[in-house]
Amino acid sequence: QVQLVESGGGSAQAGGSLRLSCVVSGLSLSSYCMGWFRQAPGKEREGVAMTATDGFTMYADPVKGRFTTSQNNAKNTLYLQMNSLKVEDTAMYYCAAGFCPLTLSLRPADVNYWGQGTQVTVSS
């Protein structure tokens, strides 16, 4: 059974930082595209970052230069370091795993497994 369990969400001031973790069981991180999505109230779920099995990472334009995803395959754990947080980063953040498509994307349709989400709230 595949499980993705996020942690590390919470509240932060604008300009601050948070680090999310996602512990994965039931699959090997090195065999899947792994990444993060977010969903704000009243909005569609959107991709934040995805890493292919060759290590290439795609970031959404709004987070480029501020967010960094990494993973420890030995610990089966995925991370999202979020710096220079903005109020508009407020959302539920989801860990995601998918069978890598021919072209790496940030589309929710390419995700096969989701975590339960962790809330990030950024205040001004």
Band of residue 102 on the pLDDT scale cut at 50, 70, 90: confident
The residues near 13 (Cβ < 8 Å, ≥ 6 apart) are 85, 122, 123, 124
Whole-number percent of the chain with pLDDT over 70? 100
What is the per-residue pLDDT across 53-86, written as a single tens digit (0 to 9) for each? Answer: 999 999 999 999 999 999 999 999 999 999 999 9
The one-letter amino acid code at 103 reads T
The pLDDT mean for the chain works out to: 96
DSSP state of 75: T
pLDDT in the model for residue 77:
97
What is the per-residue pLDDT across 14-62, written as a single tens digit (0 to 9) for each? Answer: 999 999 999 999 999 999 999 999 999 999 999 999 999 999 999 999 9
The residues near 79 (Cβ < 8 Å, ≥ 6 apart) are 19, 20, 21, 22, 69, 70, 71, 72
- What does the alpha-carbon distance between residue 5 and residue 21 come to, in Å, rounded to a whole number? 8
pLDDT in the model for residue 101:
85
